Every structure is written in C-alpha cells, then in structure tokens.
C-alpha cells in the first residue's frame, strides 16, 4: 500500500489553506497485481498449450485479440494514481470534460456505490462547498481537471465513470480502462472495525452500547468538527495519553467474531451494530487515522469514557446538525 497526497491548486473558490490541507491527506490506494503486458504474455503462453480446453482457449484468445487491437493498453500503469492521471489527461485533451450533463446526479450515484456521500466529498475536496455544489448542480458543466482528479482518488474509480462517459456514445466502450485498482485483504488494518465491535458489542450491556453510540457519533463528524474534538481531547492529559499509545495489534485476530453474538442482540442493539460496522468500514477506506483513534478509545478505561460522555453528551458537542457527514 502507498499513501498519496494530492497537490492542492490555488485559485478562487478554493478552501482556505488550512482546510485544503485536510484533502485526502491519508488516502490509501492499491495497485493492480499484474500489468496488462503481464496478462497479455500469460494469455499468449496459455494459447500455446495444445491441451487447453476450448472454452478457456476462446477466453484467452479474445483477450489476446483485445490487447493486440489496443497496444496502448499494454503499458497502462499498474498504480491507481498513475492510472487516474493518464485517464484524466486523455479526457482533458479531447475535451470530454466539457458540457457534462447531470454531473451531480452521476456523482451521487458513483459516491453511493462506493459507500460515500456528496456531503462527505464536498467536505474533502479542495474546492469550497459552495463552489463544489454549483458544479454538481449545473445542467451542463465543465468539470475542472484538478477536481476530476480529486474525485477519482476519493471515490477510487476512473474519470470515465465519474463523468458518465461509460454510458455515453461519445466514447467507444473499447476505450474504457480494462483493469481497475484491486483492493486486497490486509489484516493489519482490515481487522480494526472488528476489534472495536468485539470490544463494545456485548449483548445486554447498556454501558458498552452507550460507548458504541459515542463511537458512531465521532465517526459521523465532518472533518472540521472532528479536528476541533481532537484539539479538545489533546488538551486533556488523561485522554491525550491514551491517544498517544500505539494502536492495538489486530493482525492475528479472527474477524467477524462479534457476529456470533448477533442472535442475542435486541433489535435496537442489532441496528446499532450494523450502523457501527458500516461507518467503521467507511473510515477503513477513507480515514485510517480516525479509525485508529476509535480503536484506541474502544479499549480505554472508564475515566476516559466519562470525559467523552461529558463532551459529547452532557456538553452537547457539536451543537449543529450540519456537523455530521449525513
């Protein structure tokens, strides 16, 4: 895995420098396991096998023919960031980013497919929320190159799909990228949502479920409010000491152990667990720093949780309903 920081361009309508720095600072991307050239050579080698079944021969021959007809795809980058850069450059050079109809609707569909929301995207991109919404709400808009790149990296998809060009007659379907970034299972990070749920999902334990509600609340905070909360917590030694600890080691744990308890959950508890898993999985893909913080809190003592309750429940932080991602 690699961490990618995207350069924030400076122009009117952008967020302040401080807010720009929040854009995808810790995004994690994956690379394809094999390059197209690797696949092409493998297909050629398979076709030399005289004992290859007819169905398999047809499969490999079709792919071999495809690459021979599109030699430019043979050297397509395996790194996701490089794939996005190449595709965006191709789209901009051909003017395919201009006059995009229903961009907001398409963006909403793509975002929902990836478990995201327009509100979350508007909070992350370097454009101001108002400027971003104007682009999304326009009937026929020119989508800026830098915004298109940012949205691809946030949604982990290609710009053709983001612009709706995969459904458009203006682009030959054979031009669309054949390979996509592959997510791989990595227990060192993928198990953190399960670790948190194992700690807090105890049937009938109202205190543990009260803590799970606070975990969900923190997970729902927009970036700005989340940063304010972290500033508050870092000024409370009892909590800041906990947050300075190393994250728990989760690579050896068995995932989904908490699911064995679901038969014993009440209806309300079951709904809370489902929501928590969804939101924790969201941060697994989009904000590992927040997920690691939540994992540390899950194992915190009663004194830390009393402070969190005082801030988030008794203190009513945050005050505005607009402070949440949804």
For residue 6, pLDDT over 60 is answered with no
Report the 10 Å Cβ neighbour count for 195.
Answer: 23
- Residue 306 has what pLDDT? 97
Query: Rounded mean pLDDT of 187-204?
Result: 90
Report the 10 Å Cβ neighbour count for 122.
Answer: 17
Task: Look at 22-31, 76-85, 301-310 and tell me which has the smallest mean pLDDT.
Answer: 22-31
For residue 314, pLDDT over 80 is answered with yes
Give the residue, 281 or 167, on which the prediction is more confident.
281
Task: Look at 66-75, 85-94, 124-133 and tell me which has the smallest mean pLDDT.
Answer: 66-75
Partners of 28 in beta bridges? 3
Residue 10 burial class via C-beta count within 10 angstroms: exposed 0-12, middle 13-18, buried 19 and up: exposed
Separation of CA 316 from chain center: 29
What's the pLDDT band for 221 if we cut at 50, 70, 90?
A: very high
229-247 exposure pattern, b = at least 16 Cβ within 10 A, e = fewer:
bbeebeebeebeebbeeeb
Query: Rounded mean pLDDT of 46-50?
Result: 91
- Residue 178 has what pLDDT? 44
């Amino acid at each position: 895995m690699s961490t990618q920081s995207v350069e924030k361009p400076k122009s009117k309508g952008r967020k302040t420098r401080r807010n720009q720095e929040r854009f995808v600072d810790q995004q994690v991307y994956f690379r394809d396991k094999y390059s197209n050239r690797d696949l092409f050579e493998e297909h050629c080698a398979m076709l030399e096998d005289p004992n290859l079944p007819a169905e398999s021969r047809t499969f490999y021959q079709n792919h071999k023919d495809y690459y021979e007809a599109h030699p430019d795809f043979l050297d397509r980058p395996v790194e996701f960031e490089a794939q996005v850069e190449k595709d965006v450059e191709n789209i901009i050079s051909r003017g395919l980013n201009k006059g995009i109809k229903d961009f907001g609707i398409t963006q909403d569909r793509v975002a929902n497919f990836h478990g995201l929301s327009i509100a979350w995207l508007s909070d992350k991109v370097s454009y101001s929320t108002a400027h971003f919404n104007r682009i999304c709400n326009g009937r026929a808009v020119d989508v800026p190159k830098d915004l298109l790149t940012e949205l691809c990296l946030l949604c982990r998809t290609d710009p053709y799909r983001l612009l709706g060009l995969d459904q458009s007659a203006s682009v030959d379907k054979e031009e669309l990228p054949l390979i996509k970034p592959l997510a791989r299972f990595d227990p060192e990070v993928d198990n953190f949502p399960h670790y948190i749920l194992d700690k807090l999902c105890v049937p009938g334990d109202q205190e543990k479920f009260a803590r799970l509600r606070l975990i969900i609340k923190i997970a729902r905070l927009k970036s700005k409010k989340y940063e304010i909360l972290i500033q508050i917590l870092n000024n409370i030694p009892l909590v800041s000491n906990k947050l300075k600890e190393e994250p728990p080691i989760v690579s050896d744990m068995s995932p989904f152990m908490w699911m064995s308890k679901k038969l014993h959950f009440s209806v309300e508890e079951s709904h809370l667990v489902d929501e928590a898993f969804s939101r924790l999985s969201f941060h697994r893909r989009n904000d590992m720093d927040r997920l690691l913080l939540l994992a540390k809190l899950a194992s915190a003592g009663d004194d830390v949780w009393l402070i969190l309750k005082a801030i988030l429940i008794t203190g009513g932080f945050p005050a505005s309903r607009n402070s949440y991602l949804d």
